[in-house]
Amino acid sequence: MMNYNINNIEIVKGYTYLGVNISSNGKFSSHKDNLKAKTRRSIFATRKYLDFSKLSINTINKLFEALFLPILLYCSEVWSINDRDDLNSWEKDSIEKTHAYFCKLVLGVNKRSPNAGSRNELGRVPIRQAIDANLLKFWSYLENKTEESIAYQCLVMSKELNSDGKHGLLGKVNNLIKFYNLDPSQIMKNKHTLKTMLPDIKTVMRTKLEDHQKTLIQTNRKLAFYSKFKKDTNPSENLNLIKISEHKRQLVKLRLGNHTLRIETGRHTIPRTPEHLRICKHCNQNKIEDEKHFMLDCDLYINERQKLFEKIKNKFSHFTHLDENQKILFLFNSIDPLVSKATAAFIHFSMNSRKTN
Ligand SMILES: [Zn+2]
């Protein structure tokens, strides 16, 4: 207990004010855990009425931005001040993990599926753009307050902290300017009308986040196959063409390395099986069972593959003359409904026959 005037004040570890969990240690991890739990509950409640697997990518993204993001980022203008700017740390943050969790759920892949690939299929990147843009907007809002307002007085305190070399809102604004390579003089000059600059700032932010995501994809061994055909961060529109949910799910699982081919299961044996020993057990070719072997070579799926290639050849006669890599690019990037549907159906059927062999 401590005393203030004649009142006894209880000393507590945390206090909730306007929906924000304030901890005595000054950290916001319990608040973030709370946001994570609330967002998950909301996702589950929505899922009761809505089959996510039937929705287009565009609708999924709108749903996330309108329903779940506002819960997940509640009061981010305050808690994000303490977040580190580097994106690899951010990937481990419970807020970003909840974002990735949503992406995996709507795609129907499990938690072993890489976060970067799962976001990428939906054309999504880490949600830092919304967080950081909100923080800059909040700062500009405080700058516009009258000097006698409490909010402005807080800003003055933050400026003092900053000039003392201590971290606060102003420190964070400066960090963001550096991190996104923004022009500090332009930002300071326009601090009262920052809203008008925000669309351009958001574009710069998105580019930085896209580059980060592309690097993650190129360097993740699980996504070695994916990185061969997916070079951008745009939504994978071909997924929208597949109407049978289970076919779509099997296709996405193969694309994201979230399957049971030996190239993947060999990663989880104890001890870990070296890549060159993850040999296919379903044919006698003595080849590594990876996605390419499954799609183009393995004898187990020879009949089904013939049917697939025949269908495609009838519409796209040049397909037969493509080399292996070009065939993969064609099958996985085509936005032709026949190609997308037939490829997904092949994967679905072949994965099932693999299970029983
Ligand atoms: Zn094989």
Question: What is the pLDDT at residue 233?
Answer: 98
| 145 CA from centroid of ligand 1 (Å) | 68
- The one-character DSSP state at 273 is P
Is residue 19 scored above 80 in pLDDT?
A: no
| 261 CA from centroid of ligand 1 (Å) | 10
| 279 CA from centroid of ligand 1 (Å) | 8
* Residues 36-61, mean pLDDT to the nearest whole number: 96
Which one, of 275, 311, 298, 312, lies nearest residue 354 by Cα? 298
Is residue 116 scored above 80 in pLDDT?
A: yes
Q: How confident is the model at residue 25 (pLDDT cuts 50, 70, 90)?
A: confident
Tell me if residue 12 falls in helix, strand or coil.
Answer: coil
Mean confidence (pLDDT) of the chain: 95
Is residue 347 scored above 90 in pLDDT?
A: yes
| 286 CA from centroid of ligand 1 (Å) | 8
Q: How confident is the model at residue 18 (pLDDT cuts 50, 70, 90)?
A: confident
Which one, of 115, 229, 285, lies nearest residue 294 by Cα? 285
* Residues 66-84, mean pLDDT to the nearest whole number: 95
CA count, 13 A, side-chain hemisphere, 265? 10
Which one, of 219, 216, 221, lies nearest residue 274 by Cα? 221
Is residue 351 scored above 80 in pLDDT?
A: yes
| 82 CA from centroid of ligand 1 (Å) | 51
CA distance 129 to 176: 11
Q: The tokens 């994978």 sit on which residue? A: 236
* Residues 109-122, mean pLDDT to the nearest whole number: 97
Question: Got the DSSP string for 93-162?
Answer: SHHHHHHHHHHHHHHT--TTS-HHHHHHHTT---THHHHHHHHHHHHHHHHTS-TTSHHHHHHHHHHHHH
What are the phi and psi torsion angles at 15 (to 5°)? -150, 140
β-partners of residue 14 are 23
Structural domain boundaries in the chain: 1-235, 237-355
Residues 6+ apart with CB under 8 A from 331: 295, 339, 343
What pLDDT, in 10s, does the model give residues 207-260? 999 999 999 999 999 999 999 999 999 999 999 999 999 999 999 999 999 999
Residues with CB under 5 A from ligand 1 (ion): 280, 282-283, 298
Question: What is the pLDDT at residue 265?
Answer: 96
Tell me if residue 4 falls in helix, strand or coil.
Answer: strand
Contact between 307 and 317 under an 8 Å Cβ cutoff? The reply is: no
17-21, 37-41, 162-166: which range is least confident on average? Answer: 17-21
| 255 CA from centroid of ligand 1 (Å) | 18
- Dihedral over Cα of 290, 293, 295, 299: its sign: negative
pLDDT top residue among 341 and 9: 341
| 295 CA from centroid of ligand 1 (Å) | 10
What pLDDT, in 10s, does the model give residues 284-306? 999 999 999 999 999 999 999 99
CA distance 166 to 47: 44
- The one-character DSSP state at 68 is I
β-partners of residue 288 are 279
| 238 CA from centroid of ligand 1 (Å) | 27
- The one-character DSSP state at 10 is -
Question: What is the pLDDT at residue 9?
Answer: 82
Percent of the chain with pLDDT over 90: 89
| 303 CA from centroid of ligand 1 (Å) | 13
Question: Got the DSSP string for 291-356?
Answer: HHIIIII-GGGHHHHHHHHHHHHHH-GGGGGS-HHHHHHHHHH---HHHHHHHHHHHHHHHHHHHT
What pLDDT, in 10s, does the model give residues 137-190? 999 999 999 999 999 999 999 999 999 999 899 999 999 999 999 999 999 999
Percent of the chain with pLDDT over 70: 100
| 129 CA from centroid of ligand 1 (Å) | 44
| 305 CA from centroid of ligand 1 (Å) | 13
Question: What is the pLDDT at residue 22?
Answer: 78
Question: What is the pLDDT at residue 4?
Answer: 79
Is residue 333 scored above 90 in pLDDT?
A: yes
Question: What is the pLDDT at residue 12?
Answer: 80
| 355 CA from centroid of ligand 1 (Å) | 13
Contact between 295 and 318 under an 8 Å Cβ cutoff? The reply is: no
CA distance 213 to 236: 15
What pLDDT, in 10s, does the model give residues 195-215? 999 999 999 999 999 999 999
| 263 CA from centroid of ligand 1 (Å) | 12
Looking at residue 134, its amino acid is N
